[in-house]
């Protein structure tokens, strides 16, 4: 099994799941910031040009965070990475989808890939009074998403309840960009971040990523 990742990306969450599971895997570090994910030979491996990507021995290519995380959990049931209780599972998926779809792709996406969100047909026009910039829009989405997630995390240590599950890896990767961008995490999310940092699997991954 080959796992493709790049520094500063969302792939850290899948890397954490691989380390929590503890089975052997080959790790392939990519220069995502330098555009390597969008070029050959990776573009043939994953036409979406994104990490995380997981390639199995039989050549199956897996993409999309939620799909990879769910597959890893379902193929390693002894690790209980998806809660048995449907209500807890729903809570975890709700946080995971929101962290990926809104906090990451709508919010931080606007800070990291600003040009992708600029309407090309407006570039020649000056910014109209009262019109917010892409970065300002991103920051507003991030602030709202953090506030909503913080309220959801008020009554539980992990996203689905008392134990670590796949949704925690997604919440961790998306919230860890906040302090890196000078945005303070609200208290319940800061608590979750601290619990995640204390996990041995997270320590191992951060060492591999050269962060410790
Ligand atoms: N929808 C994808 C999003 C993955 C994604 O956006 N990955 C980013 C890194 S966080 C990427 O590889 N970007 C490629 C690039 O910036 O060239 C998922 O859920 O896995």
Looking up residue 119, the CATH number of its domain turns out to be 1.20.1050.10
Question: Within this chain, do residues 73 and 159 fall inside the same structural domain, yes or no?
Answer: no
Do 171 and 92 lie in one domain? The reply is yes
Ligand 1 atom nearest to CA at 66: 19
Whether 106 is covered by a domain: the verdict is yes
Residue 212 in any domain: the answer is no
Q: Residue 195 belongs to what domain range?
A: 86-199
Buried b (16+ CB within 10 A) or exposed e, 32-54: beeebbeeeebeebbeebbbbbb
Distance between Cα 63 and ligand 1 center (Å): 10
- In this structure, the answer to whether residues 187 and 97 fall within a common structural domain is yes
- Please provide the size of the chain in residues: 212
- In this structure, the answer to whether residues 141 and 100 fall within a common structural domain is yes
Ligand 1 atom nearest to 11, measured from its CA: 10
Single residue among 79, 107, 142 that ends a domain in this structure: 79
**119 and 97 both lie in a single domain:** yes
Instruction: Report how many domains make up the chain.
Output: 2
* Two tokens, residue 23: 């089975």
For the Cβ of 65 lying below 6 angstroms from any atom of ligand 1, the answer is yes
15 to each of 29, 68, 203, how far by Cα in Å?
A: 11, 11, 11
Check pLDDT > 80 for residue 123. Answer: no
Does pLDDT of 182 surpass 70?
Answer: yes
Cβ of 31 closer than 6 Å to ligand 1, yes or no, is: no
pLDDT in tens, 30-78: 999 999 999 999 999 999 999 999 999 999 999 999 999 999 999 999 9
Q: Does the structure show a pLDDT above 70 at 91? A: yes
Ligand 1 pocket, 145 CB below 6 A? no
Domain final residue pick, 47, 79, 111:
79
């Amino acid at each position: 099994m080959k796992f493709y990742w790049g520094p500063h990306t969302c792939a850290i969450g899948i890397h954490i799941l691989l380390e929590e599971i503890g089975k052997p895997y080959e790790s392939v570090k990519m220069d995502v910031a330098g555009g390597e994910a969008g070029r050959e030979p990776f573009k043939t491996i994953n036409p979406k040009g994104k990490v995380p990507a997981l390639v199995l021995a039989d050549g199956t290519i897996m993409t999309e965070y939620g799909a990879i995380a769910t597959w890893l959990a379902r193929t390693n049931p002894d690790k209980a990475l998806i809660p048995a209780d449907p209500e807890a599972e729903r809570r975890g998926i709700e946080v995971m989808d929101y962290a990926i779809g809104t906090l990451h792709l709508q919010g931080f996406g606007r800070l990291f890939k600003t040009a992708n969100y600029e309407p090309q047909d407006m570039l020649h026009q000056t910014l109209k009074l009262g019109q917010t910039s892409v970065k300002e829009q991103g920051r507003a989405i991030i602030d709202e998403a953090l506030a909503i997630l913080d309220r959801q995390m008020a009554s539980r240590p992990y996203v689905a309840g008392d134990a670590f599950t796949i949704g925690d890896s997604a919440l961790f990767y998306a919230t860890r960009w906040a302090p890196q961008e000078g945005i303070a995490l609200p208290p319940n999310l800061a608590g979750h971040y601290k619990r995640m940092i204390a996990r041995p699997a997270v320590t191992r991954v951060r060492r591999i990523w050269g962060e410790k």
